[in-house]
C-alpha cells in the first residue's frame, strides 16, 4: 500500500474513533441507597428504574422512565376517568349557565319569576283556606243538628251522617293540600336562591 494512503487511512480511523469517543453517552441514575450514580452504562438491576442520558458536553439529552406497575397504571387510569367526569360536569354546567342567562336577562327577572310562582301557590292556599273555613262551619252545623236529634232521642238522619263524613274527608284533603302548597313554596324559595346565587356568580 502506498505510504501516503496508509497514513490517510490511519488518520481517518483515529478521527472516527475520537468522534465516537466524543459522542459517548453518560448515564445517571439513583441507586437503591438513594445516592446519585454516573457511569458508561446503567447496571441491569437499575435499568428498570428512571435514569437520564447525557452527551459528552454534559447536556441531558433524554430521560428513560421506569416501567409502571399494574397498580400505577390503575391509579393513572382512574385519574383520567375522574378528569373526564369533571370535564363532562363542567360542560353540562356551562350549558346550564347559557340556558340560565337566556331565561333570565337580569336579576330582577329571577326575582320576578320566583314571586310569580310563590304567589300562584299562595292564591291556591288562600282559596283552600276559605273552603276549609266554610266546610268546618258546615260540619259544625251538622254536628249540632245531630246532637239535637240525639237529645230528642230521635235517630240521626242518614243524610246528616253522610254529609258529616264527606265534609271530614274534604277537610282532610284541604289540610293536606295547604301543607303541600307551603312545602312547594319553600322548595321554590330554595331553588331560586340557588338560581340567583349561580346567576350572580356568572355575572362576576
Kindly report, residue by residue over 103-133, the tens digit of the pLDDT. Answer: 888 889 999 999 999 999 999 999 999 999 9
pLDDT band at 171 (very low <50, low <70, confident <90, very high): very high
Residue 35 DSSP code: -
Segments making up each domain of the chain, as ranges: 25-67, 68-103, 105-203
- Residue 19 pLDDT more than 50? no
pLDDT attached to residue 161 = 93
pLDDT attached to residue 17 = 42
State the cell numbers at 107.
Answer: 336579576
pLDDT attached to residue 126 = 96
Q: What's the pLDDT tens digit per position in 35-69?
A: 776 766 666 666 666 767 776 666 776 776 666 67
**Spatial CA neighbour of 182 closest among 106, 110, 109, 129:** 129
Contact 186, 179 (CB under 8 A): no
pLDDT attached to residue 14 = 45
**Spatial CA neighbour of 185 closest among 127, 132, 114:** 114
Largest Cα–Cα separation, the chain = 154
* % of residues, the chain, pLDDT over 90: 47
pLDDT attached to residue 36 = 74
* Residue where the block lists cell 363542567: 90
pLDDT attached to residue 26 = 75
- Residue 169 pLDDT more than 90? yes
Contact 53, 60 (CB under 8 A): yes
Contact 53, 27 (CB under 8 A): yes
pLDDT attached to residue 27 = 64
Is this prediction's pTM over 0.75?
no
pLDDT attached to residue 102 = 87
Query: If you average pLDDT over every residue of the chain, what do you get?
Result: 81
Rounded CA separation 125/131 (Å): 10
Q: What's the pLDDT tens digit per position in 140-162?
A: 999 999 999 999 999 999 999 99
Amino acid at each position: 500500500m502506498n505510504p501516503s494512503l496508509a497514513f490517510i487511512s490511519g488518520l481517518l480511523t483515529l478521527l472516527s474513533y475520537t468522534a465516537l469517543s466524543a459522542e459517548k453517552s453518560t448515564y445517571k441514575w439513583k441507586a437503591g441507597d438513594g445516592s446519585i450514580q454516573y457511569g458508561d452504562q446503567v447496571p441491569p438491576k437499575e435499568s428498570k428504574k428512571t435514569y437520564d442520558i447525557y452527551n459528552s458536553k454534559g447536556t441531558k439529552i433524554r430521560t428513560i422512565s421506569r416501567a409502571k406497575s399494574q397498580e400505577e397504571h390503575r391509579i393513572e387510569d382512574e385519574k383520567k376517568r375522574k378528569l373526564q367526569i369533571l370535564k363532562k360536569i363542567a360542560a353540562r354546567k356551562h350549558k346550564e349557565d347559557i340556558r340560565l342567562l337566556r331565561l333570565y336577562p337580569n336579576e330582577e327577572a329571577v326575582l320576578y319569576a320566583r314571586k310569580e310562582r310563590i304567589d300562584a301557590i299562595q292564591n291556591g292556599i288562600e282559596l283552600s283556606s276559605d273552603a276549609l273555613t266554610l266546610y268546618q262551619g258546615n260540619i259544625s252545623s251538622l254536628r249540632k243538628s245531630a246532637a239535637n236529634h240525639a237529645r230528642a232521642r230521635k235517630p240521626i238522619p242518614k243524610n246528616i251522617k253522610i254529609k258529616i263524613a264527606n265534609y271530614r274527608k274534604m277537610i282532610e284533603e284541604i289540610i293536606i293540600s295547604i301543607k303541600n302548597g307551603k312545602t312547594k313554596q319553600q322548595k321554590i324559595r330554595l331553588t331560586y336562591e340557588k338560581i340567583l346565587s349561580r346567576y350572580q356568580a356568572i355575572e362576576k
